[in-house]
A and B are shown apart, each in its own frame.
Chain A
Amino acid sequence: MPAKTRYLNARVVRNEDERLLTGRARFVDDVDLPGMAHVAFVRSDYAHARITAIDASAARSRPGVFAVYTADDLGEYSQPAPLLVPPPPIEDLIFHPRTHLPLAREKVRYVGEPIAMIVAASRYIAEDAIRDVVVDADPLDPVVDLEAGLAPGAPLVHEDLESNAAAHVVQRKGDYAAARARADIVVTRRLLYDRGAAAAMENRAVVAQWDTQAEELTIWDTTQAPIPIRNGLAAKLGLLQSQVRVVAPFVGGGFGPKIMMFYPEELLVPWAAMRLRRPVKWTEDRQENFYATTQERGQVHDAEMALTRDGRILGVKDVFLFYTGAYDPYGLTIPINTQCTLLGPYDIEHYDSTFTAVFTNKPIVTPVRGAGRQHGVFVSERLLDIAARELGIDRVEIRKRNLLGPDRFPHNHGIMFQDSAPLIYDSGNYLPTLERAAEMIGYEQLVREQAARRAEGRHVGVGVACYVEGTGIGPYEGARVTVEPGGTVRVATGVGTQGQGHYTVFAQIVADVLGVDVRNVLVVTGDTREFQWGTGTFASRGAVVAGSACHAAALAVRAKIAALSAQLLNTQPEDIAVENGRAFVRDAPDRGFALGELALKANPLRGAVRPGTEPGLESTAYFGPDRGSTASGVHAMIVEVDPETAMVKIERYVVVHDCGAMINPMLVEGQIHGGVAHGIGNAFYEQLVYDEQGQLMNASFMDYLLPTATDVPPIETDHRETPSPFNPVGLKGVGEAGCIPTGAVFAQAVEDALRDLNVEILEIPMNPNSLFALIAGAGKP
C-alpha cells in the first residue's frame, strides 16, 4: 500500500476548472463540422390524437431543406426503443413495457412527441420548414390524471392494453395486519408529492458524422451513458461496435434525464448523417427541453403508520399511484426507489407496499436526481411528524426511538431494490448524525424559544428529517491507468461526466496509489474510443463504482512498477517504495527511477517481453459491486413564515451527511449544495402544470420558477464517515443526497412555524399560493 495518503479526504481544487472557466471545455454544441446540416423536429401539439395524414411536400421543396422524414420514411428503422431497465424479479409483478418510436406513427401520445424530422442547411431554415409540414390529426380524449386514468371507460393511451395500468407491484414483509391490530395508534393520510423538470443548464444535443472512407460513425452526445448508446446504435444501424464512437464531452448537467434513453433525436441524427453522408447536428432548445426531455412527476400515496404509545413504529402500509407518462422505457426504477426508500433509516418490521404505475398522455417519466426517493421519504417523515404530534412526543425523539442501531448492519430489509438485488444496507450509524444535525440547528433551544417568538407575532419553525440513499449500484465500471513515458499518468473510464468533478476525484484516487501529483493525472471520461466497457453515470454511482475501478487499475499498475523496479534494481517488489513520482528502494532512496523513465524501460526496443508480463506500465481493471452502498443523512431547517403573504424565508439549512469515506470533502459539499438548491426548488418553486387537455402550461423559465441564488440560503454541512464494506475505498454515493429529504423537512418546518394555525402540509410542492389557501382554510371544518 502507499506509504501515506495525500489526496484522499483532501480539498483538492478541481482539475477541470481551468478548462471550464477559460471557455476551452468542449460541449456538444461547440462541435462545428464542414458541410454540417441542422435539424428541427415537428412535434405533436396534441396530448392524444390519431394521425390521419402527414403532408411534408411543401417542406421538402423549401430551398435549403435536404430531407424531411416521417415514420413512413424510416422503414425498418421505425422500431420501438429498447426497454432500458427490466423490472426486478418480484413475485406476481405485472409490467407492460411500451416504449417510444423514433417518430410517432398513427397516434401521438403526448404534447411534444416528434412526428417529423427536418434536415436543412441551417437551423433557421429547418425551423421555418416546420410550418410547411401539415399534420392532420383527430384529437382524442387525453388521460391526464392518475385516478381518472384508471377509472373504467377511461380513454386508453395504449389501445392494445385493457387499461392504463402500466405496472402493479406488491412488496411485503412481516404481517402488517397483525401489527396494526396491536398498535396503540394508526396514522392515516393521503400524501401528494410532485416533482418537475431536471432543468440542466445545458439542454440535450447530438452531432453525428459518418466517415465514408474509414466507414466510422462518430457521435457527440450529451448522454450520461455513452457506452450503452454506442452499443445500441451500432446494433440498430447494422454496424460493428468498433465502427461507432460515442463521445460525451463536457456536459452541462445531467441529473438523470440524459441517461441512455435512446431518445428519438439520439436515434435519428446518426441515422440521417449516414443516409445523407454529411454531418448532422441537433441542439435542443429550452422549450423543447420541457416536453422532449424526460421529467419526473407526482405520486399519490394512501399511507398509514401503526405505532405503539411510546412512538415505536410497528409497521407501515402504503398504496400509491405513479405517473409513468406516455411510455415506460425506464421500467420501474422510480416507484421501486420510492417503495424501498420509504423505510429510511428506521427499524420497520412490518411493511405492506403496493403501487400501480399509470400511462398518461404526458411526457415520459424517468429518474431525476433522487429518482422517487423523495416521495418515499416524504411519506414516512410526514407520518412520523403527525404521529409525534398525536402522541405528544418530540419530533427528534420519535426518530431516535426508531433508528436502526449501529449493531444492525448489514441490514436486510427483506424486499427487492431497483438493482434487482435485495435491499440490504451495508453499513451506517444513524443516531450520531441525527444528534449532530439537531445540535447544529439549535433544535432544543429553538423549540424552547418558540412560544416567546410566537408571542412577538413571529412564525418561526424548525424541521429535522432523516433519509437514506441507495447509491453505487452495479453492474460494473472499468478503468485503464497508464504511466506515459513523460511521467504523466492517464486514466480512462467509460462513465460520462456532467460537472461532478470526475477529473479530480478519479485523479485523487490514482495519485494516492501511484504516489504522484494529482495535477499530473489526466482523466478522460465518456469517450468509447478511450474506454469501451461500462454503463454510465446514474444512481450516485460514478465515484463509487468507476472510482473503485480506477483504484483497482492503479493498484495493478503499482504492482507492475514494483515488479519491474525490483527486477532492474535486484531487489524484491515489497522493498520498492512508490512516492513523489519515483519508484525506489525503500532503504536506499537514491536507487530508483522516475516513473516516466520506468515506463520507457517497460516498453523495450530490444530484448524480449517475458511470458506472463506485459509491455508498458498500464493496467485495466473492473469493479462490480454485488449491490449498492447505502448513504444516509439528516437535514434540518429553520424557516420564518409570513402568514399574511404565505412567503417562506429559509433562515438556516443544515445537512449532516454520511457518504462513507470521502474522496474530496469540497466536492461532497458541492454536491450537497446543488442538491439542496434542487430540493428547495422542488419544495417551494417548481411544478410542471398541465391543463385538463394535457397541455403543459409553463414551458419556459418565465413561468417555471427555479430558485435563484437569493432563494437558497448558505448551507451548513458536517460529515460522518461510516465506510462501506462493499468497495475497497469505503465509498458511498452523494449525488442525490442534497435533494432527497428537502420537501419533507420543508413541510415539517413550515407546519411547525404555523402550529398555532393548525396547518397540516400533505403536499409538495407547497408554493405560496397553495400555502396561502391552506392558511386561509385552517381551522375551518
Chain B
Amino acid sequence: MILEGTFTFSGPRAVVWDLLQDPAVLAKALPGTERLELVGDDRYEGVMKVSVGPVTAAKFDVTVALKDKVAPERFTMQIDGKGGVGFTRGTASIALTEVDAQSTSMAYSSNVQVGGKIAAVGQRLIESVAKMMMRQALDALEQELRARLAGGAASA
C-alpha cells in the first residue's frame, strides 16, 4: 500500500522537526498508540491498537528505526509491526521544506505491506483506515505545534 501526500504546518521548520522526533508527541498524535519509547539511537518501540473493518483493536508491537536523517530536512522510517492478526512492514519518508518563516511543508510517502489475517479480511478498508489515521495524526500534530508556539502545554 502506497500512501503519499503533503501537509503544511503553521510553524517554523526547526520546531516541526523537533516535534516529529519526540516520541511522546508522536504517541499522542498517532491514533491507537498505547506506548512509544525511544530505545536506542533513532530506534523506537511501542504498541499500537488498530481497528480495520471486522478486525477490532488489533494490537501490534511496533519498532520504528530512523534512517537517512538530515536535520531538519528529511528522514526515513523503517517500520516493522507484528501482532496476533498479521504484520506490517515498510518504509515511510518525510521531507520538510520551509515555505516561509512561519510555515513548513511536509511531503510524506510510505510504502507499507500488510499481511496475515488483517490483510485477508480488511483489505478493502486498510487504505481508507490508513488515510484516516494519517489525517488524524497530522491534525493532532498541528494542534500540538500551535500549543507549543503559543507557549502553552508542550508535550505531556
A residues lining the B interface (CB < 8 Å): 45-47, 111, 130-131, 139, 287, 290-291, 691, 693, 695-700, 702-703
Taking CB atoms and an 8 Å cut-off, the chain B residues in 102-156 that contact chain A are 113-117, 119-121, 123-124
Q: Does B86 contact A (CB under 8 A)?
A: yes
B residues lining the A interface (CB < 8 Å): 53-54, 59, 83-84, 86-87, 89, 113-117, 119-121, 123-124
Contact between A697 and B120, CB atoms less than 8 A apart: yes
Which residue of B116, B121, B123, B124 contacts A45 across the interface (Cβ within 8 Å)?
A: B116
Which of A693, A695, A698 has most chain B Cβ within 10 Å? Answer: A695
Docked Cα-Cα span, A433 to B116, in Å, equals: 48
Contact between A130 and B123, CB atoms less than 8 A apart: no
Contact between A700 and B84, CB atoms less than 8 A apart: no
Contact between A287 and B117, CB atoms less than 8 A apart: yes
Contact between A111 and B89, CB atoms less than 8 A apart: no
- Chain B residues whose CB sits within 8 angstroms of the CB of A111 once the complex forms: 115-116, 120
B15 to chain A, nearest CB (A): 38
- Closest 3 CB pairs between A and B? A45-B116, A131-B84, A699-B120
Which residue of B has the minimal Cβ distance to A44? B116
Contact between A131 and B59, CB atoms less than 8 A apart: yes
Contact between B124 and A703, CB atoms less than 8 A apart: yes
A–B complex contacts, Cβ < 8 Å, 21 sampled: A45-B87, A45-B117, A46-B87, A111-B120, A130-B84, A131-B84, A139-B89, A287-B117, A287-B121, A693-B113, A693-B115, A697-B119, A697-B120, A698-B123, A700-B120, A700-B121, A702-B54, A702-B121, A703-B121, A703-B123, A703-B124
A133 to chain B, nearest CB (A): 9
- Chain B residues whose CB sits within 8 angstroms of the CB of A291 once the complex forms: 120
Q: A131-B59, A139-B89 given as contacts; is B54 within 8 A of A695 (CB)?
A: no
Docked Cα-Cα span, A720 to B103, in Å, equals: 81
Contact between B54 and A698, CB atoms less than 8 A apart: no
- Chain B residues whose CB sits within 8 angstroms of the CB of A130 once the complex forms: 84
Docked Cα-Cα span, A702 to B54, in Å, equals: 10
Docked Cα-Cα span, A702 to B123, in Å, equals: 11
A129 to chain B, nearest CB (A): 10
Which residue of A47, A691, A699 contacts B121 across the interface (Cβ within 8 Å)?
A: A699
- Chain A residues whose CB sits within 8 angstroms of the CB of B89 once the complex forms: 139
12 further contact pairs, Cβ within 8 A, besides A696-B119, A700-B121: A45-B115, A45-B116, A111-B120, A130-B84, A131-B84, A287-B121, A291-B120, A695-B119, A696-B120, A697-B119, A700-B54, A700-B120
Contact between B120 and A695, CB atoms less than 8 A apart: yes
Docked Cα-Cα span, A693 to B86, in Å, equals: 13
Docked Cα-Cα span, A693 to B120, in Å, equals: 12
Docked Cα-Cα span, A703 to B124, in Å, equals: 8
- Chain B residues whose CB sits within 8 angstroms of the CB of A695 once the complex forms: 114-116, 119-120
- Chain B residues whose CB sits within 8 angstroms of the CB of A700 once the complex forms: 54, 120-121
Docked Cα-Cα span, A702 to B120, in Å, equals: 11
- Chain A residues whose CB sits within 8 angstroms of the CB of B87 once the complex forms: 45-46
- Chain B residues whose CB sits within 8 angstroms of the CB of A703 once the complex forms: 121, 123-124
Which residue of B has the minimal Cβ distance to A692? B113
Docked Cα-Cα span, A139 to B117, in Å, equals: 16
Docked Cα-Cα span, A509 to B113, in Å, equals: 58
B92 to chain A, nearest CB (A): 18
A749 to chain B, nearest CB (A): 30
- Chain B residues whose CB sits within 8 angstroms of the CB of A47 once the complex forms: 115
- Chain B residues whose CB sits within 8 angstroms of the CB of A290 once the complex forms: 120
Which residue of A has the minimal Cβ distance to B89? A139
Which residue of B has the minimal Cβ distance to A42? B84
A226 to chain B, nearest CB (A): 31
- Chain B residues whose CB sits within 8 angstroms of the CB of A693 once the complex forms: 113, 115
Which residue of A46, A139, A697 contacts B123 across the interface (Cβ within 8 Å)?
A: A697
B18 to chain A, nearest CB (A): 34
Which residue of A has the minimal Cβ distance to B121? A700
- Chain B residues whose CB sits within 8 angstroms of the CB of A702 once the complex forms: 53-54, 121, 124
Contact between B115 and A46, CB atoms less than 8 A apart: yes
A697 to chain B, nearest CB (A): 4
- Chain A residues whose CB sits within 8 angstroms of the CB of B121 once the complex forms: 287, 699-700, 702-703
Contact between A287 and B120, CB atoms less than 8 A apart: yes
B129 to chain A, nearest CB (A): 15
- Chain A residues whose CB sits within 8 angstroms of the CB of B86 once the complex forms: 45
B49 to chain A, nearest CB (A): 13
Docked Cα-Cα span, A247 to B121, in Å, equals: 33
- Chain B residues whose CB sits within 8 angstroms of the CB of A287 once the complex forms: 117, 120-121
B16 to chain A, nearest CB (A): 34
Docked Cα-Cα span, A111 to B124, in Å, equals: 18
Which residue of A has the minimal Cβ distance to B84? A131
Docked Cα-Cα span, A111 to B113, in Å, equals: 14
Which residue of A46, A139, A698 contacts B120 across the interface (Cβ within 8 Å)?
A: A698
- Chain B residues whose CB sits within 8 angstroms of the CB of A46 once the complex forms: 87, 115-116
Docked Cα-Cα span, A697 to B113, in Å, equals: 12
- Chain A residues whose CB sits within 8 angstroms of the CB of B113 once the complex forms: 693
A684 to chain B, nearest CB (A): 20
Contact between B115 and A131, CB atoms less than 8 A apart: no
Docked Cα-Cα span, A698 to B121, in Å, equals: 6
A68 to chain B, nearest CB (A): 15
Docked Cα-Cα span, A131 to B58, in Å, equals: 10
Docked Cα-Cα span, A287 to B114, in Å, equals: 17
A111 to chain B, nearest CB (A): 7
Which of B59, B87, B114, B119 has most chain A Cβ within 10 Å? Answer: B119
- Chain A residues whose CB sits within 8 angstroms of the CB of B120 once the complex forms: 111, 287, 290-291, 695-700
- Chain A residues whose CB sits within 8 angstroms of the CB of B84 once the complex forms: 130-131
B53 to chain A, nearest CB (A): 8
- Chain B residues whose CB sits within 8 angstroms of the CB of A699 once the complex forms: 117, 120-121
Docked Cα-Cα span, A47 to B116, in Å, equals: 9
- Chain A residues whose CB sits within 8 angstroms of the CB of B117 once the complex forms: 45, 287, 699
A50 to chain B, nearest CB (A): 15
